[in-house]
Amino acid sequence: MLQLNVKNETARLRAVVLGTATSNGPTPTLEEAYDPKSLEHIKAGTYPVERDMVNEMEAFNKVFQKYDVKVFRPEIIQDYNQIFTRDIGFVIDDKFIKANILPDRDRELDAIHEVLDQINPQNIISAPEEVHFEGGDVMLWNDYVFIGTYKRPDYKSHITARTNKEGVEFIRDLFPNKKVLSFDLVKSKVEPRDNALHLDCCFQPVGLDKAIIYKGGFYDEAEYSELVKIFGMENLFHIEREEMYHMFSNVFSISPDVVVSEKNFTRLNQWLRNNNFTVEEIPYAEIAKQEGLLRCSTLPLIRD
């Protein structure tokens, strides 16, 4: 049995699900794209190829081996995108919450039954159909749960809005002792630079008291200011629109002082080193073309 335990984004990682790029399928058609960055690369003829993405995920896997983290991989579904395992479910404390994910992606959850079979069924939670959330929008910070959402009435018309207000309420009811804060995110179907697909595309804590943040990802400045109040301006690394497009906020913490990052994120990696983090740099620029990066590719099961 797996004793699930996740309470924040940075405590020492012991077990994780890492997605897979094997049998990712052919380049999607323009109609099949469900995020604007993939759309941009399909149009430009620069959509990533499977071999490159498999190599990038292997580099990520090697870092986990180096730190002795137990890694689970999904069972392969033929010709199906299973890279972004973050979104299909998430652990809060000792509960595994199955996400009600975008219908285009709903087969991804079946592929981690090896993991689900090792969890006490009493600790596995499913939500009613109208409750939407994806793990990229759910971020744990000890007593807090931060949730990215889209609150405006045209929610249904945005394929990039994945967590609704019912999703926020569901988590709030499930964890009455946590302070649940929600953040309305900017969305665009056609311009990835104006699309915070999930909360982890514009914000993520690192270390014990720091965070990476893109102010322009927040629709409501007052909600951005709540994070400034919690972390303190001096502890925030602010990224620019182009850096959010490259997914600077989507690095991944193995511990409070070890962060896995993309090798081209020079400005961020320097800031991390200046703040005494060990930065494990790997190539991930091909996978980044699908509007997801390192946090998106992982589903932590056990942290200290």
Ligand X SMILES: NC(=O)NCCC[C@H](N)C(=O)O
Footprint on this chain of ligand X (rule: CB under 6 A): 34-35, 38, 84, 86-87, 136, 197-198, 200-201, 290-292, 296
- Which position's Cβ is nearest ligand X? 136
Residues whose CB is less than 8 angstroms from the CB of residue 7 and which lie 6 or more positions away in sequence, other chains included: 93, 140, 142, 303
Judged by beta carbon, residue 110 or residue 304, the one nearer ligand X is: 110
Distances (CA, A) of 115 to 44, 71, 109: 38, 11, 10
Q: How far is the CB of 216 from ligand X (least distance, A)?
A: 16
Judged by beta carbon, residue 159 or residue 181, the one nearer ligand X is: 159
Judged by beta carbon, residue 102 or residue 118, the one nearer ligand X is: 102
Q: How far is the CB of 31 from ligand X (least distance, A)?
A: 14
Judged by beta carbon, residue 170 or residue 252, the one nearer ligand X is: 252
Q: Cα–Cα–Cα angle for 77, 112, 298, nearest 5°? A: 100
Judged by beta carbon, residue 227 or residue 296, the one nearer ligand X is: 296
Q: How far is the CB of 135 from ligand X (least distance, A)?
A: 7
Q: How far is the CB of 234 from ligand X (least distance, A)?
A: 27
Pairwise CA distance, residues 92 & 99, whole Å: 12
Residues whose CB is less than 8 angstroms from the CB of residue 220 and which lie 6 or more positions away in sequence, other chains included: 183, 184
Q: How far is the CB of 184 from ligand X (least distance, A)?
A: 16
* Residue from 185, 128, 127 nearest 158 by CA: 185
CB atoms within 10 A of CB 209: 13
